[in-house]
Amino acid sequence: MSRPRIVIVGAGFAGYQAARQLTRAARGRAEVTVLNPTDHFLYLPLLPQVATGVLEPRRITVSLPATLRDARVVLGQAEHVDLDGRTVRYRGPEGNTGHLPYDRLVLAVGSVNKLLPVPGVAEHAHGFRGLPEALYLRDHITRQMELAATEDEDDAAARCTFVVVGAGYTGTEVAAQGRLFTDALMRARPRHEALTTRWLLVDVAPRILPELDERLSRTATRVLGERGVEVRTGTSVKEATGDGVLLTDGESVPTRTLVWCVGVRPDPLAESLGLPLERGRVLVEPTLQVPGRPEVFACGDVAAVPDVERPGEFTAMTAQHAWRQGKSVAENVAASLTSRTLRPYRHKDLGFVVDLGGGEAAANPLGLPLSGLPAGLVTRGYHLAAMPGNRVRVAADWLLDAVLPRQSVQLGLVRSWSVPLDTASPELARVPGEPEKQREAGKGPGPKNAPKTTPAPDTTSPIVAPTPDQAKE
């Protein structure tokens, strides 16, 4: 008798956790295949530290082949799921196509940048969902400071102005740590000392971190204010151009940097499945099964999971839920293969952490609000415990950052046109000559300055209790 085939689409927080748990539970009795565009799991909560020169990019990646040794890892992006034929069609990194048959399917494709119908944003803003975008931002900030040091006053002011839209977890951390990064650049280079940098954090919400306890919001607001970051609540971008942005309060801000952190939306694959959706997310039962398709499960940002603790609501699109749902879906997939009873997904928040850099953070572990150094220690300790690998390397980078100046060269490896805001694959940088089908999968033509290329031959942090061998964010 052949082994049951389990296909997991996506290796973010939900998919990676599901794969780890399933390979351990199956112990060779099932064939587990992971389909993912990259060969690594990305620990997203530390992405702002990559963008600001604290951590090297590989520190926050965990190899799939090395840590999922009992699983088959297939590089590629899912293009179509034949629910009746029980196959997944995918396109590989070199344009080749393939099919993966399954007996059980776990959809964990995650989310992409959330877009709003604001003129100019798709052309001039960049998101913050993957390593390519973080590496681009790191180079871009460094380049703007270097160019500003040799230009006239007006151009220098525009290059030294950085606008971050969205004051949730990501936007708040990018603005707080970005300001520290530009300050470090100014200290390291004599010609930069005369420059004046300006950081703006804007959001339509009445306060930053609106989804968290108000005490955490006050802590973050205080830290941002002490660093000179301008916080504009009840405000957003009305229009963006190559020379600046027009805010909804009427102010025109000359800038060359617009970082879009307004949130996320489910991966576009969800819309192509023909399944019932809730705001773009696949509706599932509390057991994470798709109604009417008991062989199909969905978890993470792509799934609308009923919140059994709050009847009538769905769990939020956070890494905390994704990690826990990955474990839950693994248990239920295994149970479905042995006729055991499936359990509904339940959760209990243990608190949240927001790393503001420079030893500052806002945290409320177990409901206890913390700020300053205690919050910073709790936050970094949590991240070390939560990461599934590279803990020593991350700690070493933190130590070096505390005692040595940051390396501030721009490598130029990621260009502006290769990280468009409107893309279905924020984890991959667009490359010249990519197949046209991959370009179409991005749901848009990309920036206007993208080079025209010939298509190649068709050949882009909540707290949980860590388990003994890993934890999550």
Q: CA 49, 54, 58, 61 torsion: positive or negative?
A: negative
pLDDT tens digits along 235-282: 999 999 999 999 999 999 999 999 999 989 999 999 999 999 999 999
Over the Cα atoms of the chain, what is R_g? 22
**Is residue 441 one of the residues assigned to a domain?**
no
Q: Is the pLDDT of residue 173 over 60?
A: yes
- Is there a contact between 346 and 325 (Cβ–Cβ < 8 Å)? no
- Is there a contact between 267 and 302 (Cβ–Cβ < 8 Å)? yes
What gap in Å lies between CA 408 and CA 182, rounded to an integer?
10
CA 149-155-157 angle, 5° bins: 75
Q: Mean pLDDT in the chain?
A: 89
Residue ranges making up the domain that contains 321: 5-37+76-112+265-337
Q: Which pLDDT does position 210 carry in this prediction?
A: 93
**Is residue 176 one of the residues assigned to a domain?**
no
pLDDT tens digits along 326-384: 999 999 999 999 889 999 999 888 788 999 999 999 999 988 999 999 999 999 999 99
Q: Is the pLDDT of residue 458 over 80?
A: no
**HSE-CB of 112 using CA atoms within 13 angstroms:** 22
- How buried is 1 (Cβ within 10 angstroms: 0-12 exposed, 13-18 middle, 19+ buried)? exposed
Q: Name the token pair of 338.
A: 């042995």
- Is there a contact between 303 and 325 (Cβ–Cβ < 8 Å)? yes
Q: Name the token pair of 253.
A: 């801000």
What gap in Å lies between CA 305 and CA 317, rounded to an integer?
10
Q: Which pLDDT does position 456 carry in this prediction?
A: 34
Mean pLDDT of 31-41: 97
Q: Which pLDDT does position 25 carry in this prediction?
A: 84
Q: What is the CATH number of the domain that holds 320?
A: 3.50.50.60
**Is residue 460 one of the residues assigned to a domain?**
no
What gap in Å lies between CA 267 and CA 448, rounded to an integer?
23
**Is residue 96 one of the residues assigned to a domain?**
yes
What are the phi and psi torsion angles at 101 (to 5°)? Answer: -75, 150
**Is residue 472 one of the residues assigned to a domain?**
no
- Structurally, the chain folds into a number of domains equal to 1
Helix (H, G, I), strand (E, B) or coil at 33: strand
- Is there a contact between 169 and 216 (Cβ–Cβ < 8 Å)? no
Counting residues of the chain whose pLDDT is more than 70, the rounded percentage is 91
pLDDT tens digits along 392-436: 999 999 999 999 988 888 998 899 999 999 988 899 998 876 544
**Is residue 443 one of the residues assigned to a domain?**
no
pTM for the model stands at: 0.89
Q: Is the pLDDT of residue 467 over 80?
A: no
**Is residue 356 one of the residues assigned to a domain?**
no
pLDDT tens digits along 97-127: 999 999 999 999 999 999 899 999 999 999 9
Q: Is the pLDDT of residue 439 over 80?
A: no
Task: Spell out the long-range contacts of 113-119 with Cβ–Cβ below 8 A and sequence spacing 24 or more.
Answer: 113/260, 113/264, 113/265, 113/421, 113/422, 113/423, 113/426, 113/460, 114/262, 114/263, 114/264, 114/265, 115/265, 115/421, 115/422, 116/262, 118/236, 118/237, 118/238, 118/239, 118/240, 119/238, 119/239, 119/240
**Is residue 171 one of the residues assigned to a domain?**
no
